[in-house]
Amino acid sequence: WVRLNRHLPVATWDVEVDPSNASFVYATSFYDGRVNSLSGIQMSTDAGNTWTRPATAVPNPGVNTPAGFNCAVERRTEPSAFGIGIRPDASNNVFIGTNCGVAISTDSGVTWTFVDPTPATPATNVWDVVVQGGGPTSQGIVDICGDDGHFRSTDGGNNWTGGSAALPGGRCS
């Protein structure tokens, strides 16, 4: 183990290393209270020596969200991110639970898009993400757990099932 003192903010939730490139490290954190916040999604391309928050790591309506994406302004301006899932058979696909739904990158964290598994209601906290390879569409299977329950996507995060229907509802972790 080696302590990495350069990751800010220090209220970190999750850290994941790309299984195909150990230089790529993703970290998530709670809102840090700064005017120019460093919280949410951070990444390192040099095994944790330096960290950046990608420009698209915060939802920006009309830029990196689908039409009709609904996340409260204070959630976007006070970003928090939680669980991280990396697709094992295509590690350039990264899924992160945030306080505005799910952030998805298909280019190893360079750019991020945000989706809400429950588009009929405002986006809320997604606490954890588990990603499996394969699946019926060969786009992996993504399971998330959040304030709205457990949801699953079998097409890379484009469509979601679950909540109070096919998958267990209620609190989860």
Q: Look at residue 83 in the predicted model and tell me its pLDDT.
A: 95
Q: Look at residue 7 in the predicted model and tell me its pLDDT.
A: 72
Distance (Å, whole) CA 33 – CA 130 = 28
Q: Look at residue 37 in the predicted model and tell me its pLDDT.
A: 80
Q: Which amino acid is at 128?
A: D
- Phi, psi torsion values for 152, nearest 5 degrees: -135, 140
Q: Look at residue 164 in the predicted model and tell me its pLDDT.
A: 59
Q: Look at residue 147 in the predicted model and tell me its pLDDT.
A: 87
pLDDT digits (tens, 9 = 90+) for 23-46: 999 999 998 887 778 889 999 999
Q: Mark the ranges of the chain whose per-residue pLDDT is less than 50.
A: none
